[in-house]
Structure 1
Amino acid sequence: MKASLALLLLCGAVLAPVFPAWACATCACGDPTLTSMGTEQPFSGRLRLSTTLRAWGHTVGQERVDALRLREARMDVAVAYAPLPWLFLSATLPLQAREVRSVSLARERGWGVGDVEVSAKAFLYQDREFSADHLFSVLAGVKLPTAPRLRAADGTLLDLDTQLGSGSVDPLAGVAYQHFRGDWSFLVSATGFLPLRGMLGFRAGPSLRTTLAAQYQPAPRWAVRLGLDSRVEAAADIDGEKEENGGGVISYASPDVLFSPSTDIVVAAGVRVPFFNRLHGRVAPTPIAMMSVAYDL
């Protein structure tokens, strides 16, 4: 009788359905650091979704003479997947609403889907597979001309400043280093963009964007982050004729607060404040308000 019962239990254990074991992202990568989209530690099978809201603007030209004011609200919907422990594939779809107002008070508005960006990040070095302290990665990608060409009621194209995309294919490449040390983490990154010519003969200038950031996380559910974001770019041109306003160097101070209301969800809110503006001509940028939510499946 006991032998028969043992045999039945053994058969039941073998034939019982097996369900996959799920673990939180922190458990899988061994690091409890709260991270915004694009700064996470890799592990095979990691899937992350995010949405980021931004509100920003700038004024180009001289007030009461030829000033052009642009304001935009933008939501980036992004997905990142790691098919291998050292590789992240990502795609970002922007949804934009833009208004451009000239000194004459004439206005143009555009809204819809912007240019999709796809990229691959390869982690070339990490000091250990689980709970790495040092990560070095390279990035390659491209921005694609997926935004529709916006037209007025009479069928004419809206101004370039109102368009949600450039109509060009823009390759990009970058490098990044991350260091994790107890409650602290650090990021240094640089990404270069080489835009090609797009609609109406427009071509944005090549640019280099850099980030230096430090994050302090005194508790499992929240952290504070302070970054320095800079952009160096050449002036844009239309059919070879350079624009007078734009090109040069601009830097932003970027404080953020990160909060995790539950496992695998990270909410971040912050602002990008321009404090160093050496753009050519007359370009007055506004601060950039930002809020994001990232979720690991």
Structure 2
Amino acid sequence: MKNTLTASLLLSAALLLAPFSSAWACATCACGDPTLMSMGTEQPFEGRLRLSSTLRGWGHTVGQDGVNAMRLREARMDVAAAYAPLPWLFLSATLPLQAREIRDVSLSRERGWGVGELELTAKAFLFRDRAFSAKHLFSVLGGVKLPTAPVLRGADGEMLNLDAQIGSGSVDPLAGVAYQHFRGDWSFLVSTTGFLPTRGIMGFRAGASIRTTLAAQFQPATRWALRMAFDSRLEAPADINGEREENGGGFIGYASPDVLFSPGMDVVVAAGVRVPFINQLRGRVSSTPIAMLSVAYDL
């Protein structure tokens, strides 16, 4: 695990230094569209290879303050690579590095960190109105999350609390559809992805969920753009060995403003926040905003 962590950190450092190195090719020229796009929303062309690193910080509190509240905080770095072997196909892999802390009402703490669970996806573009500088794109997505995270234990050898674990230990398939439209300085995205988790460690099974994104982006200049999105998650309650958890499951919606900036050819830096302004989760679940910073580099 230590070797994997070191390799991932070196890759992230290389991405952060990418603006100061020379690119092999111009991705904008190859796809015919100058729109700055974050990882996972780019237009494909054969041979495109994109690397990215995304930092996130978030947390939530479950339960009633002063009674049974449990607070979770997480810092996460996703290291990802996406490659297009064909003009209509993107293959990608994402490996997270995570650090978690939970604190209960008694103020006792548990901390866990390490390499998280690898996600592999294939994105096929079934329709594009033209091969070069497409204005309409329709794609489907399929993939799986694999149980690559270790089971974390304390100094006494006992397993850490389920919420301190950085992985579920389950094999979780996912599938989705997306539509993108490009019109001058504007671009739009509509996407829906479904997740169907299986049972993992400690008998835990996360609820099936549907995640959606509605986004509009305005790019008045070559080097920067503003993006506004509504992200949502609708999920069934989780259970442990068939016993449904009291808190969790339901609907939550986020307002997601981002700023995208290109400091050099084939480099896109994005910074933003996901603010939970609709919270219809069951029980007592209070979520914090999610801070995000990413850099993507086309080789």
The answer to whether TM tops 0.5 is yes
CA deviations over 1:69-112 (Å, ceiling 9, x no partner)? 00000000000000000000000000001000000000000000
Please name the residue that 2:17 is paired with.
none
Which ranges of 4 or more aligned residues in structure 1 deviate by more than 3 Å?
A: none
Please give the residue correspondences for 1:1-297 in structure 2 after superposition, counting only pairs within 5 Å. Answer: 23-297=25-299
Distance in 2 separating the partners of 1:47 and 1:175: 22
In structure 2, C-alpha distance between the alignment counterparts of 1:102 and 1:146, rounded to whole Å: 27
Tell me the distance in 2 between the aligned counterparts of 1:254 and 1:168: 29
For the residue of structure 2 that corresponds to 1:218, the secondary structure is: coil
Q: Output the CA distance in 2 between the equivalents of 1:143 and 1:281.
A: 27
The offset of 1:242, in angstroms, is: 0.1
Give per-residue Cα distances to partners, 1:153-206, cap 9 Å, x unaligned.
111100000000000000000000000000000000000000000001000000
Residue 161 of structure 1 aligns to a residue in which SS? helix
- Structure 2: which amino acid aligns with 1:248? G
Question: Helix, strand or coil for the counterpart of 2:164?
Answer: coil
Taking the aligned partners of 2:106 and 2:149, their CA distance within structure 1 comes to: 28
Equivalent-residue separation in structure 1 for 2:62 and 2:287 (angstroms): 9
What is the CA–CA distance in structure 2 between the aligned matches of 1:200 and 1:246, rounded to whole Å?
18
**Post-superposition offset of 1:117:** 0.2
SS in structure 2 at match of 1:110: strand
Measured after TM superposition, the shift of residue 23 of structure 1 is: 3.1
Letter in 1 for 2:274: R
Secondary structure at 2:28 match in 1: helix
Query: What's the counterpart of residue 16 of structure 1?
Result: none
Query: Counterparts of 1:179 and 1:275 in 2: how far apart (Å)?
Result: 27
Runs of 5+ consecutive residues of structure 2 not aligned to the other structure = 1-22
Distance change (3 Å), C-alpha of 1:22 and 1:156: closer
Q: Counterpart amino acid of 2:220?
A: P
Equivalent in the alignment of 1:13: none
Change (3 A) 1:102 1:128: same
Larger Rg belongs to = 1
Q: Helix, strand or coil: the match of 2:202?
A: helix
> Aligned equivalents of 2:24 and 2:220: distance in 1?
27
Q: Amino acid of the residue matched to residue 254 of structure 1? A: S
The amino acid that maps onto 1:263 is M
The Cα shift of 1:22 comes to 5.1
Give the distance between the partners of 1:22 and 1:196, measured in 2 at CA: 41
Q: Secondary structure at the match of 1:205?
A: coil
Q: C-alpha separation between the residues in 1 aligned to 2:183 and 2:209?
A: 32
CA distance in 2 between partners of 1:131 and 1:64 (Å) = 57
SS in structure 2 opposite 1:209? strand
Uncovered stretches (5+) of structure 1, i.e. residues with no partner? 1-20
State how far apart, in whole Å, the 1-side matches of 2:154 and 2:35 are: 48
Identity value in percent: 80
Structure 2: distance between partners of 1:54 and 1:269: 10
CA distance in 2 between counterparts of 1:155 and 1:168 reads 22
Question: 1:251 corresponds to which letter in structure 2?
Answer: G
SS of corresponding position for 1:200: helix
1:65, CA displacement in angstroms?
0.3
CA distance in 1: counterparts of 2:202 and 2:162, whole angstroms: 8
SS in 2 for 1:148: coil
Shift of 1:255: 0.1
